[in-house]
Amino acid sequence: MNIENKLAAMTIDEKVGQLVQLAPFFYVKDIQQQIFGHVRDLGISEERIYRTGSVLGIGSAKEMIEVQKTYLEQSTAKIPLLFMADIIHGYETIFPVPLALASSFNPDLAFKVARISAIEASTAGIHVTFSPMADIARDPRWGRVVESFGEDPYLNYVFAYNMTEGYQNDGIEKDGNLVSCVKHVAAYGKSEAGRDYNTVDLSRLSLLNDHLDGYKGSIDAGARMAMTSFNTVDYVPATVNKDLLDGVLRGILGFDGVTISDYDSLNQVIAHGVAQDSKEAAKLGLEAGLDIEMASTCYIKHVKSLIEQGKLDMKRLDEAVLRVLKLKDQVGLFENPYKGANEELEKACVGSKAHMDQALTVALECPVLLKNRQGVLPIKGKRIALIGSHAKTKDTNGPWSWRGKAAINTALDRALKQEGMDVVSAEDRWEERSDLANCDVIVLAIGEHSDESGEAHSKAGIGLKHEDVLWYQYAKSFEKPLVVIIYAGRPLVIEEILAADAIMWAWFLGSKGNEALAKLIKGEVSPSGKLPMSMPRHQGQIPIYYNHLKTGRPKKGANDQNPFVSFYLDVENEPRFPFGFGLSYASFTYENLTLSKRLMDPSDRLVISVDVRNESPVAGMETVQLYLQDEYARIARPVKQLKRFQKIRFAGHETKTITFSITLADLTYRDASGRSIYDTGTFRVMVGSNARDCLVETFELEEGRNT
């Protein structure tokens, strides 16, 4: 297909139409899609509907074929629709929410989740997924931390890279693959006070050094689309921010795909007070480099007249339309407008047992064991009293679980019984229950429900519910070993229940979540998850993250008596549980941290090794983490930054030497222009099982010997 010729043959109305995205019910009236009211009232004429370029959300191969067929019959330019949807952590087979997936510290699982999601969703004729969400998340009050890969730039980079690789796989033109649309550009996770859609204000250097790596990971993996965020960046809404879209996204990150607004976010530039009306919003959007407008009508109503009045350059329109046509050509739509849609395959693979088995495999590596006093877990050969608000929960899919049906999930009590465990379960707090009282161990299941996190679901308070604390006090009244399982879409403040003997963070693990928990509780598998976000001890600490700057008055440890340092009168500075923290049924010790050299030339490779020993007879997996600190530079640098990690399996009493290698690229940071720069001097190398507990060595980066 000669795209340039196609463009040249299009009328201006047909060109503008390619930049418009609507919901499927505009084409087939009885399609029941959860589309918000204002989209229905967009006031778009029948004629214009048959000139749009893409569709948001479709529910089956049958629907897609019907919409595409109806569209092509009516449209003049005969350019097939592109079908897009939010496949975030599964299509019908639901995997752990992205924050839980990040807890696995196993990027191969991210690839697997994206692969299976793409295989299932593409059979419905979906071509694009609005994933990965790669916003750095440092504020657990923000509902969308559940969709993120947490607080660390490197972890975000690695997981976003593998998600995009998994979606796009061996080519977006192939059946079974999806176009990956990375989002939300940029820094949406810095919404002030953790309140969704709130103001974002950050320095240029923070944008470039703390918030871009996730998007970069997806772009480096070849993402063909990027979605703009609702928020402002440098006081300009991202959706019309030319410096962000042209300068940072396309310039610094090298993105060359199609940009799309978030839902109605072009129209919302008016609410931001940066456009007087939708006409001005349309002009700002195209001039900033926004290609597709999702779920609003600024472009369709005004671009033609702006160009005819000489207020907008036709070049801007042609550039955007050319990118959209190229993407449709790369997907193969001109050869096959029904690409991917396959009702037989849909029936055979969507939600299949093989996929569900994979969902279990992934879920097993995501829960985080925060405490396990005297090996209360795993529970073997004991009678369990399972109580709490979540004792029989099936609500494990979490937000954005698309076609996942919680009703088919296995409840926790049933999952434990399926593992052959002796369980008495109760959801009601009964004063005297002899059958509970004569159990050996209490398992208390509490926490959030799926609808307490996700988009537009932020919380000012992130403590445990009063009901959960009452459950805990009831459980303690039995004076038995007590295991607490906490379901959540975010870190929570859990000070009231810290005296429990064991605490397992269960996130929302997807379709097979409770089966995974049961296998971990039984000890068939040892927990291996690590926290992708710091767990506060008090919500007054928020935002709290490990890779913070030193400040001029750092508190030097808990015993620092200097009153004039950065600290609170009432709470320690440190989180309750640090980034990267997670226990196993095995126990690991670290020694012999060794560097291949103490003086590093910019052209050198530095090899770092450490011995890790499993002190227990129990097999387990450990994620060995490598952090670096640039002690002295032209700008203040974080006290430490994750630069590598390896998740390693250990047999009982096994010792392994783990090695990492780093180069100059791992020591650089971006200056205000986005250029990567470095500083000579001392670097600290920290290797350990989390951001707090590390062995430390140092090396000197010298001026280049060959410069």
Phi and psi at residue 700, in whole multiples of 5°? -105, 130
Interface with ligand GLC (CB under 6 A), residue total 6
- When the beta carbons of 14 and 135 are compared against ligand GLC, the nearer one is 135
- When the beta carbons of 87 and 445 are compared against ligand GLC, the nearer one is 87
DSSP per-residue letters across 603-655: T--EEEEEEEEE-SSS-EEEEEEEEEEE-S-SS--BS-EEEEEEEEEE-TT-E
Site track for ligand GLC across 360-379, x = CB under 6 A: --------------------
Least distance CB 154 / ligand GLC (angstroms):
23
- Residue 187: CB partners within 8 Å, gap ≥ 6? 135, 136, 200, 202, 207, 211, 229, 231, 233
Q: Is 263 in the site for ligand GLC (CB under 6 A)?
A: yes
Q: Is 138 in the site for ligand GLC (CB under 6 A)?
A: no
d(CA 415, CA 515): 5
- When the beta carbons of 66 and 262 are compared against ligand GLC, the nearer one is 262
d(CA 389, CA 446): 5
| Residue of 582, 418, 444, 422 lying closest to 514 (CA atoms) | 418
Least distance CB 272 / ligand GLC (angstroms):
16
Structural contact between residues 207 and 185, judged by C-beta atoms closer than 8 angstroms? no
Least distance CB 196 / ligand GLC (angstroms):
9
- When the beta carbons of 183 and 537 are compared against ligand GLC, the nearer one is 183
- When the beta carbons of 145 and 516 are compared against ligand GLC, the nearer one is 145
> Alpha helix locations (H) across 192-277?
204-210, 213-220, 242
Give the one residue of 14, 120, 152, 262 binding ligand GLC; rule: CB under 6 A. Answer: 262
| Residue of 133, 255, 126 lying closest to 196 (CA atoms) | 133
Site track for ligand GLC across 514-553, x = CB under 6 A: ----------------------------------------
Helix (H) or strand (E) holding 424: strand 422-426
d(CA 355, CA 351): 6
Q: Is 135 in the site for ligand GLC (CB under 6 A)?
A: no
Q: Is 243 marked active-site?
A: no
User: Cα–chain-centroid distance for residue 360?
Assistant: 19
Give the one residue of 413, 455, 468, 501 binding ligand GLC; rule: CB under 6 A. Answer: 455
Q: Is 130 in the site for ligand GLC (CB under 6 A)?
A: yes
Torsion 329-331-335-341 (CA) sign: negative
d(CA 384, CA 412): 12
Least distance CB 134 / ligand GLC (angstroms):
11
Site track for ligand GLC across 178-197, x = CB under 6 A: -----x--------------
Site for ligand GLC, residues 302 to 321, rule: CB under 6 A: none
Burial category of 412 from C-beta neighbours within 10 Å (exposed 0-12, middle 13-18, buried 19 and up):
buried
What number of H helices and E strands is found in the chain? 20, 26
- When the beta carbons of 262 and 604 are compared against ligand GLC, the nearer one is 262
- When the beta carbons of 402 and 699 are compared against ligand GLC, the nearer one is 402
Least distance CB 111 / ligand GLC (angstroms):
21
Least distance CB 178 / ligand GLC (angstroms):
13
| Residue of 212, 276, 197 lying closest to 244 (CA atoms) | 212
Least distance CB 114 / ligand GLC (angstroms):
16
* End-to-end CA gap in the chain: 50
Site track for ligand GLC across 585-624, x = CB under 6 A: ----------------------------------------
Q: Is 86 in the site for ligand GLC (CB under 6 A)?
A: yes
- When the beta carbons of 71 and 263 are compared against ligand GLC, the nearer one is 263
Per-residue 3-state assignment (H helix, E strand, C coil) for 114-166: HHHHHHHHHCCCCCEECCCECCCCCCCCCHHHHHCCCCCHHHHHHHHHHHHHH
Least distance CB 224 / ligand GLC (angstroms):
15
Q: Is 293 in the site for ligand GLC (CB under 6 A)?
A: no
Per annotation, catalytic residue among 135, 213, 262, 264: 262
Least distance CB 184 / ligand GLC (angstroms):
6
CA angle, residues 513, 515, 518, in degrees to nearest 5: 110
User: Cα–chain-centroid distance for residue 490?
Assistant: 12
Q: Is 142 in the site for ligand GLC (CB under 6 A)?
A: no
- When the beta carbons of 34 and 45 are compared against ligand GLC, the nearer one is 34
Active site residues: 262
Residues that bind ligand GLC (CB under 6 A): 86, 130, 183, 262-263, 455
